[in-house]
Amino acid sequence: MSLPHALLTALIERPGSGLELAGRFDRSIGYFWQATHQQIYRELARLEAAGWIEGTAVEGAKGRKRAYRVLPSGRKELARWTVAGQEPMPIRDEVMVRLRAEAVIGPTALADALAKLAAHHRERLEIYRGIEAKGFTPPPDSRAQKLQHLVLKAGIEYERLRAAFCEEAIALMRDED
């Protein structure tokens, strides 16, 4: 359950409204923790009820826009959570389930689905490499920047591994058919 703390982090980086946060969750933070605007609004209400953030109406904006900022107790909560024990996250990988299924009932046309998936991961890989080229060359000096770069590199490795795996599986199924 990291959404509240992902939101706290995002709001410390830059205060903003619910929809602005939803936009950021389609990029940056969203690359490793997705959330819809419905979740975000619900969670912002909870964070405010807990006294961790404060929302103030934005005058002159469309609708009833509210800008949120993190309060000292919110920072404290984020610090507490950050060092709390990290349980290994349960893995739920549909692709592996499909391959195990293929192994017992195959051959099937699974390769087509895997080809699309590989393309998706290669796209993601290019996006991440673009972000790295723009934001992290030359390599950063500050501690915060180095940490963010590390997270990005993990994303790059993940996408590379996934794309390569799909292609290996496709090759294996093609050879055996």
Partner DNA sequence: TAGCTCATGTAAGGAGTTACATGATTGA
Partner DNA sequence: TCAATCATGTAACTCCTTACATGAGCTA
**Which residues of this protein are in contact with DNA, per CB under 7 A?**
1-3, 17-20, 34-39, 41-42, 44-45, 61-66, 90, 92
Cis peptide preceding 138, ω within 30 of 0: yes
Specify the residue, 39 or 148, whose C-beta has the smaller distance to DNA. Answer: 39
Taking the CA atoms of residue 108, residue 118, residue 94 and residue 92 in that order, the dihedral angle to the nearest 10 degrees is: 160
Task: Report the C-alpha gap between 24 and 15 in whole angstroms.
Answer: 12
Specify the residue, 122 or 129, whose C-beta has the smaller distance to a second copy. Answer: 122
Q: Is 157 in the site for a second copy (CB under 8 A)?
A: yes
Of 174, 168, 175, the C-alpha closest to 117 is 168
Q: Enter the tokens of residue 169.
A: 């599986």
**Partner interacting with residue 12 (select from a second copy, DNA, none; CB below 5-8 Å by kind):** a second copy
Task: Report the C-alpha gap between 165 and 175 in whole angstroms.
Answer: 15
Q: Which residues bind a second copy (CB under 8 A)?
A: 2, 5-6, 8-9, 12-13, 29, 31-34, 75, 78-79, 81-86, 88-110, 112-114, 116-117, 120-121, 143-148, 150-151, 154-155, 157-158, 161, 165, 168-169, 172-173, 176
